């Protein structure tokens, strides 16, 4: 019988990549880079991203953007300013539209995002038209690959 490819979810829980650095993040501001996710070891091909923004009031057209910084040589991450990072799409991982309902929490998932095979860090760009809540905001990834021995 021929091998069949199936999804392989190696972790048991999603990994929180951004949390307290999102607290009271002002509009048109980027978070600091996350801790390094060791994808040079994990070699995950894809991830699902969950953005949870605690109670706040976004404006019309609100979104957050997730950027990924990859250490191509294994140790040195790009050092672009936030303004320069926004001008290029090379490190933009995804944009996540948010609802515009006032004073509600938002939980948004983005599926099947391709990951680079290097050490990576994540940044969130707040383009919601408002300041994020003082606590409870997170970005989590659930990384996975596929198994040809299914």
Helix (H, G, I), strand (E, B) or coil at 59: coil
pTM above 0.85, yes or no: yes
Per the domain annotation, does 2 fall within a domain? no
**The domain spanning residue 103 has which CATH number?**
2.60.120
Per the domain annotation, does 25 fall within a domain? yes
Per the domain annotation, does 1 fall within a domain? no
Per the domain annotation, does 34 fall within a domain? yes
DSSP state of 115: -
Above 70 in pLDDT, residue 12? no
Per the domain annotation, does 4 fall within a domain? no
Per the domain annotation, does 112 fall within a domain? yes
* Distance from C-alpha of 8 to C-alpha of 147, rounded to nearest angstrom: 6
How would you label 137-149 residue by residue, b for 16+ Cβ within 10 Å and e otherwise? bbbbbbbbeeeee
Give residue 83's domain range.
9-147
Over residues 63-102, the pLDDT tens digits come to 999 999 999 999 999 988 999 999 988 899 999 999 877 7
Number of domains in the chain: 1
| Dihedral angle sign, alpha carbons of residues 56, 115, 34, 90 | negative
């Amino acid at each position: 019988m021929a091998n069949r490819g199936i999804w392989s979810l190696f972790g048991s829980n999603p990994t929180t990549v951004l949390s307290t650095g999102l607290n009271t993040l002002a509009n048109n501001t980027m978070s600091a880079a996350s801790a390094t996710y060791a994808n040079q070891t994990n070699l995950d091909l894809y991830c699902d991203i969950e953005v949870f923004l605690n109670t706040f009031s976004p404006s019309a057209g609100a979104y957050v953007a997730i950027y990924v910084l990859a250490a191509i040589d294994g140790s040195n991450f790009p050092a672009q300013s936030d303004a320069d990072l926004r001008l290029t799409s090379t490190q933009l991982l995804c944009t996540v539209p948010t609802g515009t309902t006032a004073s509600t929490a938002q939980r948004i998932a983005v599926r099947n995002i391709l990951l680079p095979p290097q050490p990576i860090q994540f940044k969130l760009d707040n383009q919601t038209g408002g300041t994020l809540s003082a606590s409870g905001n997170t970005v989590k990834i659930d990384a996975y690959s596929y198994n040809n021995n299914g």
